[in-house]
Structure 1
Amino acid sequence: MLSRSMVLAVIAGIASLGAPPSPALVQPARRLIVGYLFAGNAVAEISDVDAARLTHINYAFANLRDGEVVEGFASDGENFRRLRELRQRHPQLRVLVAVGGWTWSGGFSDAALTVASRDRLVRSAVAFVQRHDLDGLDIDWEYPGLPGNGNTNRPEDKANFTAMMAALRAGLDDLGRRTGRTYLLTFAAGAFPRFIEHTELAQVAASIDWVNLMTYDFRVAAVDPIAGHHANLFDHPDDDKHRSGDAAVREFLAAGVPAAKLVLGVPFYGRGWMDVRAERNGLYQPGVPLTDAKGLTYARLAADLVGRDGYERHWDSTAQQPYLWNASRRIFIAYDDPESVRRKAQYVVERGLAGVMYWQHGSDRTGTLLQALHEYLQQGSTHR
Structure 2
Amino acid sequence: MPSRFRFTLFPLLAMLACAPLAHAASGHYRVVAYDTVHHPIPAADVDRIDTLIFAFAHPADGRVTLSTAARALLQQRIALKAAHPGLKVMISVGGWSVGGFSDAAMTAESRQRFADSAAALLVDTHADGLDVDWEYPGHHESGIASSPQDREHFTALLKALRAALDRAGHGKHYLLTIAAADGPFVDGIDLAAVAPSLDWFNMMTYDFCNVMTPTTCNHTGLHASALAPADARTLSRAVRQFLAAGVPPAKLVPGVAFYAREFADVDPAHHGMFQKYGHYQGGHDWPQLKADYINRNGYVRYWDAKADAPYLWNEKTRRFITYDDPQSIAAKAAYVKAQHLGGLMYWEQGSDPSDELLKAVWQGLQ
TM-score if structure 2 supplies the norm length? 0.90
Distance 1:125 1:44 in 2: 26
Match of 1:224 in 2: 213
Match of 1:59 in 2: 54
Distance 1:345 1:188 in 2: 19
**Matched length:** 342
Match of 1:30 in 2: 28
Distance 1:91 1:168 in 2: 25
Match of 1:174 in 2: 167
Match of 1:329 in 2: 317
Structure 2 unmatched ranges of 5 or more: 1-23
Deviation at residue 103 of structure 1 after TM alignment: 2.7
1:152 aligns with 2:145: yes
Deviation at residue 278 of structure 1 after TM alignment: 2.1
Match of 1:164 in 2: 157
1:191 aligns with 2:197: no
Deviation at residue 312 of structure 1 after TM alignment: 1.1
Aligned 8 A contact 2:120 2:168 in 1: no
Q: Kindly, what percent of the aligned residue pairs are identical?
A: 42
Match of 1:363 in 2: 351
Distance 1:64 1:306 in 2: 40
Aligned 8 A contact 2:97 2:143 in 1: no
Deviation at residue 290 of structure 1 after TM alignment: 4.3
**Change over 3 Å in CA distance of 1:118–1:27 after alignment to 2:** closer
For residue 346 of structure 1, what is the amino acid of its counterpart?
Answer: A
Aligned 8 A contact 1:98 1:139 in 2: yes
Match 1:286 to one of 253, 260, 276: 276
Matches within 5 A, 1:46-195: 46-47=41-42, 50-71=45-66, 73-104=67-98, 106-177=99-170, 180-195=171-186
1:245 aligns with 2:235: yes
Distance 1:258 1:193 in 2: 20
Distance 1:323 1:194 in 2: 25
TM-score if structure 1 supplies the norm length? 0.86
Distance 1:31 1:45 in 2: 25
Aligned 8 A contact 1:28 1:349 in 2: no
Distance 1:342 1:88 in 2: 31
Post-superposition CA distance 1:160-217 (Å, at most 9, x none): 100110110011111122xx4221000000122341x222111100111000010011
Post-superposition CA distance 1:218-261 (Å, at most 9, x none): 100x2223222111110123223421111110001111111010
Deviation at residue 96 of structure 1 after TM alignment: 0.2
Post-superposition CA distance 1:4-57 (Å, at most 9, x none): xxxxxxxxxxxxxxxxxxxxxx99931000000013xxx443347710000000
Distance 2:204 2:122 in 1: 24
Deviation at residue 79 of structure 1 after TM alignment: 0.9
Moved over 4 A (4+): none
Match of 2:337 in 1: 349
Structure 1 unmatched ranges of 5 or more: 1-25, 379-384
Distance 1:368 1:184 in 2: 28
Aligned 8 A contact 1:48 1:365 in 2: no
Distance 2:271 2:194 in 1: 43
SS at match of 1:226: coil
**Change over 3 Å in CA distance of 1:160–1:290 after alignment to 2:** closer
Match of 1:307 in 2: 295
Distance 1:33 1:365 in 2: 17
For residue 262 of structure 1, what is the amino acid of its counterpart?
Answer: L
Distance 2:242 2:134 in 1: 17
Distance 1:368 1:27 in 2: 27
SS at match of 2:197: coil
Aligned 8 A contact 1:145 1:154 in 2: yes
Match 1:258 to one of 225, 243, 248: 248
Post-superposition CA distance 1:259-292 (Å, at most 9, x none): 010001111111111122222211122222343x
**Change over 3 Å in CA distance of 1:153–1:46 after alignment to 2:** same
